[in-house]
Chains A and B, each alone.
Chain A
Amino acid sequence: MTRASLALGLALAIAGCSSRGNLQLGMIEGPRSISGKVEAYRTNQHTIAVPRAGNLVIRLTWQDPTVDLELYLGSVSCPALYPTNACPISAASRSAVGAVEEVARTVNAGRQYSVFVDNLDPKRGQNYRLTLEVR
């Protein structure tokens, strides 16, 4: 089976909210990517449901490499990324340079996770794209 057909078989349920207060983006059935905007120094949270077991790969991309975004995969029970000791993080990508972050983790069917997009720039917001795939 090719990677493309694997990806086609993936059904991810994605919801989004912001650390500023549960901004609901609504349930999205089937898509493997989502776009959003994270405001300066804010954190966006997306909840995803994984329909089958495999290696979940999440890739975060954005335009401006001088804006520092970070990507975290955490428990669905996390109300927010911060304070960090209150939220079990299972994978994180915190590169200091570039405009790509990627995490991968083995997942079980039916599990839900929180995906956090964290903007460390105190002045500038940024549009981003999350691509999700179970391989």
Chain B
Amino acid sequence: MLSLTYARSDETFANPERGFYRQFVSFDSGDARRPLGAPSLRAVRGQGVSIIRVYFVIDEFMKGPLSRDALDDIAANFDEVRRAGLKIIPRFAYSFPCSGAVRCTEERVKAEALDPSLHRVLEHVDQLTPVLRANSDVIAYMEMGFVGAWGEWHHSSTGLVNANHTTNERSAAIVERIMNALPRNRMAVLRYPYHKQSLFGAKPLDETEAFTGSARSRIGALNDCFLASANDRGTYSPPSLGPPDKNVIALKKFLSLDNRFVPQGGETCSAEGSARSYIPCANALRDLANMRWSALNVGYRREVLDLWRQQGCLAEIQNRLGYRFRLLRADLPSQAKPGSPLNLRFVMTNDGFAAPYNPRRMELGLRHTASRRVYPIKIAYDLRLWGGGETRTVSVPDRLPLELEPGSYDVVLSLPDPETRLRDRPEYSIRLANKGLWEPATGSNLLAQIQVIK
């Protein structure tokens, strides 16, 4: 028997669908369009980033359907993301208030946040549906968008969400249409946790409903004012519900449970005033772990990230956003015969804040060291249920394939993306946080070598 232990790596590297993200504005206000370009996306990938958030500001189409060329441009952006080995967090919006402004006032937001009618929004979602479905493989998750200033579900000029921040039948219709537009294996995130509660009930998700494909099980959380104040500038302030600090306790507890099975993403928005009490490392790390964050904007606000760098937690946050799987040890036979049980067992831990939220395959590969031929053994294990901080043992009792020729074999663990166009691309496979295991050319993690004998 081989009993192997594995060295931990603290290196920062990209892994799919998690981590810091870069933001792009592909469709800007008016008819300005900036298609995503290969050089800038390659640069992003080179910075150890695997996801980008992309704004599509479609105010040009407030009074009519999306044009054919707009839909083609949006689709072309998805193609570019795929070519670059990235995933996208798309957000559609009808306004981007305070663009270029030094100071963003409430009055200015109100004046610039203009929404179309409900009918128009639903028409646009319907038009986008084929594009989203055809490119869902590279969607990490989608921000609900469409409503209010920046698509953030406040200040809706046409009542798509109420002025007092409550949802209404128009809000519900938009959420329903977006969730139907996305395939059942892709999720969307809502800006306010109490909107999810008002639309789908106050009970957080549990194991029985997680990943069933229901709309509720596919809606996560977006916080675009993380750590800005006691209630993250309204993120935890449901209208007229109770004492402010109780709202924060209740909604954070809800998110801590709900986010076991759905993504939490967003950005910080202030390093001034009340934010100073909440942005320091100790509090940031506590909240990131408690709310199980998967994705955070690396470009906004820079002052907050600078503080984290100064205080020494930036690398830890970068590494722990989402999942970070690390192999601890493995037991397997040093030699085996074709058809005999492999009896491999490995122990792995998740050092990240969260579990993966999209489907993921787990495969063991036996690779002949001379011919490089790989014999895959599929492992029935749902990585989405492997939460942050959890250590688990995985047993692979399967028998070795009968057709194995004698010789030396690498035992590799692969965690590829299950999507057809991505499954053979190493950029979309999960790298373990161990020294010396990752194979960048194959996207596999080398666990051991065994001998197959007659």
Q: Which residues of A contact B (CB under 8 A)?
A: 41-43, 66, 68, 81-85, 94, 96-97, 118, 120-124
Contacts and interface: CB of A to CB of B under 8 A. Distances in A.
A56 B265 CA distance: 43
Q: What does DSSP make chain B's interface, helix, strand, loop or mixed?
A: helix
B245 A122 contact: no
A84 B243 CA distance: 10
Given A66-B203, A122-B197, A122-B202, A94 B241 contact: no
Main secondary structure of the interface of A (DSSP, over half): loop
Contacts of A83: 243-245
A122 B203 contact: no
A124 B202 contact: yes
Given A121-B202, A123-B202, A84 B238 contact: no
A96 B253 contact: yes
A41 B242 contact: yes
B237 interface: no
B246 interface: yes
B201 interface: yes
B250 A122 contact: yes
A44 to B, nearest CB: 13
B453 interface: no
Contacts of B241: 41, 122
A52 to B, nearest CB: 34
Contacts of A123: 201-202
29 contacts: A41-B241, A41-B242, A41-B250, A42-B242, A43-B246, A66-B203, A68-B250, A68-B253, A82-B242, A82-B243, A82-B245, A82-B246, A83-B244, A83-B245, A84-B245, A84-B249, A85-B245, A96-B253, A96-B257, A97-B257, A120-B250, A120-B254, A121-B202, A122-B194, A122-B197, A122-B202, A122-B241, A122-B250, A123-B202
Nearest to B248: A84
A43 B241 CA distance: 13
Given A66-B203, A82-B246, A123-B202, A96 B256 contact: yes
Contacts of B201: 123
A102 to B, nearest CB: 18
Contacts of A85: 245
A120 B249 contact: yes
Contacts of B253: 68, 94, 96, 120
With most chain A CB atoms within 10 A of its CB, the pick from B194, B243, B246, B249 is B246
Contacts of A120: 246, 249-250, 253-254
